[in-house]
Amino acid sequence: MRKPANGLAKTFDLIVVGGGAAGATCAGRLAAQNPTLSIALLEAGPSDRHPLVRVPFGLIWLMGSQRDWAYRTVPQTSLGGRCISVPRGKMLGGSASMNSMVWFRGRADDYDHWGPGWGWDDVRPHFEAVEEQMRPAPLRDPHPLSAALEQVHGGPPTPETVSSGPFIVNIKNGQRRSPVDAFLRGTNVHVLKGQHARKLTLTNGRIQGVETCGGDKIMARAGVVLSAGTIGTPQILMQSGLGPANMLRNTGITLQHDIPGVGANLHDHPAVAVHHERRGSGRGLTFAQLPLWALAPFQWLVSGRGPLASNTVEAGAFLSGKDGVAPQFQVHFVPTRIGYGKRAIGFGAGYYADVCLMQPRSRGSMTLGTDGAVQIDLGLLSNRDDRVKLREGLCALRALLRAAPFGQRSAPEVFPATGDDTAAVDAHIDARLGTAYHPVGTCAIGAVVGHDLAVRGIRGLWVADASVMPRITSANTNAPSIMIGHRAARLITQQIKAK
């Protein structure tokens, strides 16, 4: 990728906004497929060249740092008005530079819900091409607790069937491998970091370019691809006057084109967790483990191994509900004590696991308030069925942890430790429910963009990121987002060449 020359070039053939999972992939592939075009990638955040990005365990320090947009939802009415944190990567690689590196394509039948041109047979070749570069592989050296999970249902875990064990991850030689490494580095894309896009400029329904928060105007001869993610992309569209007319009227933004679906259909995997703690159990801060942690940086530097090479969420499971058919719940397992309740930081060893609904029915929205600020309403558990299912999921998670042959490392549940009765489970859900950090759907295929990812009613504008998923995939969303970026480059190239 090219460093920008002194003095920002003001005109490119194509501009990609957002250098995250999908954007870095799309920009790199566009450059490879169109060597004569000049392509700029605008990223609001800084570089991904930071030790905490490379070190898999580093993600726990990236969250809440300057490299995190650190959004919060509006009060969630179904959770007693609690606000939930929504971390999103703000750097080259986006959330793919601070995620847990768990690799899943989703389930083949997920793509039946994405409409024509996005079925399993259409997307599979792109997953295959992406995986050739990303090289996901089984986690090296899983903790014995993570390894033991495999003995419950058999692994590696897959959303297609009830299964459990260590995950497949995008880690190479103990280091995070991101789509920036796989697709962007080595191309001639002009990467412009610290460039926060505010809005699009357009004339007579045709996109002219991008205006940044710093007041720069960057022009695009062939068009703009929005890859700013599930929150950032609808925000830019709305700030450009492209969105639901009713909502935009209240913000004072001049309507350019009424697109009712922008910001609608926001959803994520709702997740609820349990914590286990006992001396001699999993990783954590204990006197006995002080040498392990003191040596960890050297061990990682020398061999790429040790606790810092752990992606935190090392293992998990796919579990079915009472009806016992296809899996409905995904479990994430961390063989490390994580703060709980009022004991956020402190000594202790243990493990943590959460369970999420693979296909929630609840839907929320992303809008702008009258002051123009982003309002994220995940609508968590707004559909009652989700709460009923999640209660079932928590019981299934506890059964899994009871069945796991953890031996001497087994530890009692210390939080919430209230049992499976409905009132106790509901109280825990109300107080603690979060998400798996997989927001999708705010510019859905079929509603905002066509099957070619072009924004309906506007010329020279495409969306390529997790916001185009009409329905969430039945597992983690990074690989599907990279697949979208990969496929977008092909679709956009075809459209440009057809002109």
Ligand X SMILES: Cc1cc2nc3c(=O)[nH]c(=O)nc-3n(C[C@H](O)[C@H](O)[C@H](O)COP(=O)(O)OP(=O)(O)OC[C@H]3O[C@@H](n4cnc5c(N)ncnc54)[C@H](O)[C@@H]3O)c2cc1C
Annotated binding site: 99-102
23 binds ligand X (CB under 6 A): yes
302 Cβ neighbours under 8 A, 6+ residues apart = none
Whichever of 313 and 454 has its CB closer to ligand X, that residue is 313
- Residues 275-314, mask of contacts with ligand X (x by CB under 6 A): --------------------------------------x-
45 binds ligand X (CB under 6 A): yes
Whichever of 229 and 392 has its CB closer to ligand X, that residue is 229
Are 153 and 397 a contacting pair, CB within 8 Å? no
Give the whole-angstrom CA distance, residue 130 versus residue 480. 10
Part in contact with ligand X (CB under 6 A); list of ranges 5-13, 92-100, 130-138, 449-457: 92-100
What percent helix, strand, coil does the chain show, rounded to 5? 30, 25, 45
- Dihedral of the alpha carbons of 491, 87, 364, 457, in degrees to the nearest 10: -30
Whichever of 90 and 428 has its CB closer to ligand X, that residue is 90
236 binds ligand X (CB under 6 A): yes
Cα-based distances in Å from 416 to 234, 273, 352: 37, 9, 12
Give the number of residues in contact with ligand X, rule: CB under 6 A.
42
477 binds ligand X (CB under 6 A): yes
**Identified binder of ligand X from the candidate list 52, 207, 228, 308, rule CB under 6 A:** 228
Catalytic residue of the set 153, 267, 275, 438: 438
Name which of residues 162 to 221 contact ligand X (CB under 6 A).
196-197
Cα-based distances in Å from 88 to 23, 30, 67, 95, 230: 14, 24, 8, 5, 10
146 binds ligand X (CB under 6 A): no
How many C-beta atoms surround the C-beta of residue 86 within 10 A? 21
**Identified binder of ligand X from the candidate list 38, 76, 100, 281, rule CB under 6 A:** 100
Say whether the peptide bond before residue 156 is cis (omega within 30 degrees of 0): yes
* Residue that the structure tokens 């995986």 belong to: 131
Cβ at position 275, least distance to ligand X in Å = 18
Residue type, position 32, single letter: A
**Identified binder of ligand X from the candidate list 89, 335, 364, 416, rule CB under 6 A:** 89
**Identified binder of ligand X from the candidate list 28, 56, 58, 87, rule CB under 6 A:** 87
Cβ at position 116, least distance to ligand X in Å = 22
**Identified binder of ligand X from the candidate list 1, 39, 43, 443, rule CB under 6 A:** 43
Greatest alpha-carbon pair distance for the chain in Å reads 70
- Residues 310-349, mask of contacts with ligand X (x by CB under 6 A): ---x------------------------------------
Residue type, position 447, single letter: A
Whichever of 208 and 230 has its CB closer to ligand X, that residue is 230
* Residue that the structure tokens 């800084």 belong to: 46
* Residue that the structure tokens 């959330």 belong to: 95
Residue with the CB atom nearest ligand X in the bound state: 20
Paired sense of beta strands 461-463 and 217-226, if any: parallel
Part in contact with ligand X (CB under 6 A); list of ranges 42-50, 267-275, 364-372, 405-413: 42-50
Part in contact with ligand X (CB under 6 A); list of ranges 99-107, 260-268, 292-300, 360-368: 99-107
Cβ at position 476, least distance to ligand X in Å = 3
- Residues 417-456, mask of contacts with ligand X (x by CB under 6 A): --------------------xx------------------
**Identified binder of ligand X from the candidate list 44, 134, 191, 374, rule CB under 6 A:** 44
**Identified binder of ligand X from the candidate list 14, 40, 52, 96, rule CB under 6 A:** 96
**Identified binder of ligand X from the candidate list 29, 54, 90, 105, rule CB under 6 A:** 90
Partnered with residue 329 across adjacent β-strands are 319, 357
Strands in 194-347 per DSSP E: 197-203, 206-212, 217-226, 242-243, 257-258, 270-277, 284-285, 315-319, 329-334
Cα-based distances in Å from 160 to 107, 329, 400, 416, 473: 6, 11, 18, 30, 12
Partnered with residue 203 across adjacent β-strands are 206
Q: Measured in whole angstroms, how far is the alpha carbon of residue 449 from the centre of its chain? A: 20
Whichever of 95 and 362 has its CB closer to ligand X, that residue is 95
Give the whole-angstrom CA distance, residue 300 versus residue 285. 18
**Tokens describing residue 309:** 């090479």
Give the whole-angstrom CA distance, residue 425 versus residue 416. 9
Q: Measured in whole angstroms, how far is the alpha carbon of residue 196 from the centre of its chain? A: 20
- Residues listed for the chain: 499
Cβ at position 499, least distance to ligand X in Å = 26
438 catalytic per annotation? yes
Whichever of 78 and 478 has its CB closer to ligand X, that residue is 478
SS3 235: helix
**Identified binder of ligand X from the candidate list 102, 317, 334, 488, rule CB under 6 A:** 102
**Identified binder of ligand X from the candidate list 34, 227, 256, 367, rule CB under 6 A:** 227
How does DSSP classify residue 142?
-
- Residues 456-475, mask of contacts with ligand X (x by CB under 6 A): ---------xx---------
**Tokens describing residue 402:** 């009871």
Cβ at position 428, least distance to ligand X in Å = 22
417 Cβ neighbours under 8 A, 6+ residues apart = none
Q: Provide the annotated active-site residues.
A: 438
Q: Residues interacting with ligand X, by CB under 6 A?
A: 17-23, 42-45, 63, 87-90, 94-96, 98-102, 196-197, 227-230, 232, 236, 313, 437-438, 465-466, 476-479, 481
